[in-house]
Structure 1
Amino acid sequence: MLLRSLAAICAGAVALYTSHAFAAAPRPVVVELFTSQGCSSCPPADRYLSELSDTRSDVLPLAFHVTYWNQLGWKDPFSFDAADARQAQYVRRFGDFAYTPEMVIDGKVAVVGSNRPAARSAIDDAKSTSVTSATVDAIRDGSEISVSIGPGRGRARILLVGYDARHVTPVGRGENSGETLTESNIVRSFTSIGEWAGAPLQLRANAITGEHMAVLLEASDGAIVGAARVTDRQRAPAR
């Protein structure tokens, strides 16, 4: 009887430790930049996002190119409606309005994307205060993505993001006419692939458009509570 009790206590302790280990696991801070090639204020923010991509593995930068600048002389080739919808979600949450360049950190705080001190401060705050509900691991094998999510508390929507590492675009018209823009981590597709409810979960999804991919866990209040770059069995992890 005593041995059984000790075994139960040990098992409980291991389970508790495992749960806390998953909750405490580090993850990248997710930085979403809403931008457009038709916006003259955006290139400084685009350059900053490129620097984050090149120098900080603890940050997952994602550039969402919106469509609402397209009617002003230059159609951004990377703009898509899902970027507008994503920003509209934040507009409702923050009680703000849509603008570019807007940078949202971990789904919680919005700053002007070209304001480097404000962005750095928000990223540093997120690193020290962000919540990780569960660890996320994802591997791409050909056209299939395998996602593993650890145990934790709460619920979250599982989002798959496809993005290209870098593009260089000569702009022929509009506010940036004559400029050649170098932009990084450009989101090409964005979709929900399931729900996580606290229990360990494994799922598979088809690869989506984009050279690289990432998986995000988004809580009901919009906060990012889990994130991981998708690694490729044949290649090194994406930036």
Structure 2
Amino acid sequence: MRSTCLSIAVLSALAAPALATTSQPSAVVELFTSQGCSSCPPANAFVTELDQSHTDVLALSYGVTYWDYLGWKDTFGHPDFTKRQKAYDAALDSGVYTPMLVVAGRHHGPRLTEATAIGTSIPASLKLAAHAGMHCIEGDLPVGSKLALVEYRPGTKTVSVKSGENHGRTLTLTNVVTAVRYKDWSGEPICGLQPEQALAVLAHDSQTSAIIGAARYEP
């Protein structure tokens, strides 16, 4: 992995003055929501407003699947997102519910104030370096930290719900997550990433769910 990263660095030095870097969010808010949950639209709207008014905050929306039986299958839902929420439950003893907002992997609630959402800052210990469509994860993180690589569609998406608890409503969701996978941090850069859409990298403390570093790329 390191040799790949060094090769990219050499090519970058020849082609450009320096590697382009993506942003490091000052705060991270994750929403676990469902299109089949009648109490979720206010939380969806909160995340949309937060994203639009605070460009330094990373807000992500995960569609969970356990309410699909109520008559509407979440069009953005995936079992992996339900598993991520259950991992937070195991770490925070939060229970599994919607809407569930998680701040910096440390705090949770069905609703939050803006001050609470942006009040837990994320250390600038992680970054994404980019060149010619290739990305490297670089950081000053403890070895063994767990990295979540979260792909999402930046901006808002609307869904017209045809049945279930939100029948007849048009829902708006922001930064909809499409995939999540995990890597363990060895202390060496992780290179060769070629995201086709927006990518967030969240570093979790190895003993807790606390987010100790975050970076994002948006095309």
Which interval holds the TM-score relative to the shorter structure?
Answer: 0.7 to 0.9
Instruction: From the superposition, tell whether residues 201 and 183 of structure 1 become closer, same or farther in structure 2 (CA, over 3 Å).
Output: same
Which residue of structure 2 lines up, in the alignment, with residue 4 of structure 1? Answer: none
Residue 164 and residue 89 in structure 1: after superposition, are their counterparts in 2 closer, same or farther (change >3 A)? same
Q: Is 1:138–1:231's contact at 8 Å kept on the other side of the alignment?
A: no
Gaps of 5+ in 1: 1-24, 233-239
Partner of 2:204: 218
Change in Cα spacing, 1:43 to 1:135, as seen in structure 2 (3 Å) is same
Q: 1:48 to 1:95 in 2, by over 3 A?
A: same
Looking at structure 2, the residues matched to 148 and 185 of structure 1 have their Cα atoms a distance apart, in angstroms, of 21
| Structure 2 gap segments, 5+ residues each | 1-22
> What residue is the counterpart of 1:125 in the other structure?
119
Other-structure match for 2:191: 203
Contact 2:62–2:81 (CA under 8 A) maintained in structure 1: yes
- Contact 1:214–1:230 (CA<8 Å) still a contact in 2? yes
Compare CA radii of gyration and give the structure with the larger one.
1
TM-score normalised by L of structure 1: 0.74
The whole-number CA distance in structure 1 between the counterparts of 2:50 and 2:185 is 29
Higher helix fraction (1 or 2): 1
Where does 1:4-153 land on structure 2 (aligned, <5 Å)?
27-112=25-110, 115-117=111-113, 120-127=114-121, 130=122, 132=123, 134-139=125-130, 141-142=132-133, 145-153=134-142
**2:150 alignment partner, one of 161, 166, 169:** 161
* 2:102 partner amino acid: V
Matched letter for residue 126 of structure 1 = T
Displacement after TM superposition at 1:200 (Å): 5.3
Measured in 2, the distance between the counterparts of 1:54 and 1:74 equals: 28
Q: How many residues were matched structurally? A: 195
CA deviation string 1:70-122 (max 9, x = no partner) = 0101011000001100000011112231100000001000011xx342xx233
More displaced 10-residue stretch of structure 1: 150-159 or 102-111? 150-159
For residue 207 of structure 1, report the CA deviation from its aligned partner.
2.9
CA distance in 1, matches of 2:131, 2:71: 38
1:187 counterpart residue number: 177
Q: CA deviation at 1:137?
A: 1.8
User: What SS class does the counterpart of residue 52 from structure 1 fall into?
Assistant: helix
Q: Percent identity?
A: 34
RMSD of aligned alpha carbons: 2.2
Q: What secondary structure does 1:173 align onto?
A: coil
